[in-house]
Amino acid sequence: MENTFNFKEIQERPDRLAPGHRMCAGCGGTIAVRNVLKALHPGDKAIVGNATGCLEVSTFMYPYTAYEDSYIHNAFENAGATLGGVETAYKALKKKGKIKEDYKFITFGGDGGTYDIGFQSLSGAMERGHDMVYVCYDNGAYMNTGIQRSSATPMYADTTTTPTGSESDGKPQARKDLASIIAAHNVPYVGQTTFVGNMKDLYTKAERAIYTPGAAFLNVMAPCPRGWRYDAPDIIKICKMAVETCYWPLFEVIDGKWVVNYEPKNKLPIEDFLRLQGRFKHLFKPGNEHLIEAFQAEVDKRWEDLKFRASK
Q: Tell me the per-residue pLDDT of 42-57, one tens digit each, with 9 for 90 and over.
A: 999 999 999 999 888 8
What's the mean pLDDT in 176-186?
A: 98
pLDDT > 90: what percent of the chain? 87
Classified as helix, coil or strand, 278 is helix
Burial 277-301 (b: 16+ CB within 10 A, else e): bebbebbeeeeeeebbeebbebbee
pLDDT at 1 over 70: no
CATH 3.40.50.970 is held by the domain 7-311: yes
Q: Tell me the per-residue pLDDT of 255-312, one tens digit each, with 9 for 90 and over.
A: 999 999 999 999 999 999 999 999 999 999 999 999 999 999 999 999 999 999 999 8
Say if CB 249 and CB 219 are below 8 A apart. Answer: no
What's the mean pLDDT in 156-183?
A: 97
Confidence of residue 4 (pLDDT cuts 50, 70, 90): low
pLDDT at 166 over 70: yes
DSSP 8-class letter at 113: I
Which residues share a beta bridge with 257?
A: 254
Residue 281's pLDDT is 98
Instruction: Enumerate residues 6+ apart whose C-beta is below 8 A from 284.
Output: 271, 274, 275, 292
pTM as predicted: 0.95
What's the mean pLDDT in 109-119?
A: 97
Q: How far apart, in whole angstroms, are the C-alpha atoms of residue 293 and residue 171?
A: 15
Q: Tell me the per-residue pLDDT of 54-75, one tens digit each, with 9 for 90 and over.
A: 888 888 888 889 899 999 999 9
Residue 3's pLDDT is 56
Q: How far apart, in whole angstroms, are the C-alpha atoms of residue 122 and residue 104?
A: 17
pLDDT at 122 over 80: yes
- Average per-residue pLDDT in the chain? 95
Domain ranges of the chain: 7-311
pLDDT at 2 over 70: no
Q: How far apart, in whole angstroms, are the C-alpha atoms of residue 66 and residue 20?
A: 7
The CA-based dihedral angle spanning residues 117, 247, 33, 135, taken in that order and rounded to the nearest 10 degrees: -40
